[in-house]
Amino acid sequence: MQPVSLLSNGFFLSLSLCLDIGIVNVAILSRTLSHGFRPGFWLGLGSCIGDLVYATLALAGMSALLRFDTVRWVVWLGGAAMLLYLTWKMAREALSPPRAAAQSLTDEPEASPLHAFARGAALAMSSPSAILWFAAVGGALIAKAGATSTSTASLFLGGFFLGGLAWTVFICTLASQGRKRAGASLLRGCHIVSALLFAYLSYSVIVGGYRDLIAHTARASI
């Protein structure tokens, strides 16, 4: 696989994780809207490292498990179901965004960059949505990315980290420019983009699983 393709695969896969509006994104929004770009950025950078740890573990372990047909079926069906659920969830929240998230963007005491960084990493590694994403969806997609050597894995993980970093810069920039008035509209925009991305990933996983597990098996038995 071409280096650019590996980087882009990691980049966009990371974005699909970032676009789920969970505790990490709400924390980044809250920190940025309360204290400005830099504090929010440090928290977001820590979350990128936490996600990178999970991505590395997924890359190291899921490829071996996927050699078993039973595991591949479970991952395919479970991943497709989870992506469809996330698509529905994001679309519902885009049409009717909850007020609780916007109301939670309140002032907090400003922390040091190191403390914000550590908090971001801890939030990313303890986020239920992130754990569920890597277990049901991300692990399988990462394992199929074609990063089978040290160099290709480094490229893929580099793209994955850059995706999270780009999202952090994007969301912190928007929040710092709009401050508190942009909170609700920013969340709504994220939900819309997230729903579209999850819909695309749902289609990709369903079609890819059908080709690998059903169509390929049927052709082999003829």
Q: What is the pLDDT of residues 62-71, one digit of tens each?
A: 556 666 778 7
Six-digit token string for 215: 């169509």
Residues 119 and 65: beta-carbon distance below 8 Å: no
pLDDT block averages, 10 residues each, the chain of length 222: 69 77 74 82 93 80 66 75 78 66 48 85 74 64 64 82 92 77 62 75 78 73 64
Is residue 63 assigned to a domain? yes
SS3 135: helix
> Which residues constitute the domain of residue 120?
3-216
What own/partner pairs with CB < 8 Å and gap ≥ 24 does 86-93 have? 86/20, 86/194, 86/198, 87/195, 87/198, 87/199, 87/202, 90/19, 90/20, 90/21, 90/191, 90/192, 90/194, 90/195, 90/198, 91/191, 91/195, 93/21, 93/191
The number of distinct structural domains making up the chain is 1
Is residue 221 assigned to a domain? no
Six-digit token string for 126: 């303890």
SS3 annotation, 196-215:
HHHHHHHHHHHHHHHHHHHH
Q: What is the pLDDT of residues 44-64, one digit of tens each?
A: 999 999 888 888 877 776 556
Q: How many Å apart are CA 212 and CA 144, to the nearest integer? A: 12
Is residue 222 assigned to a domain? no
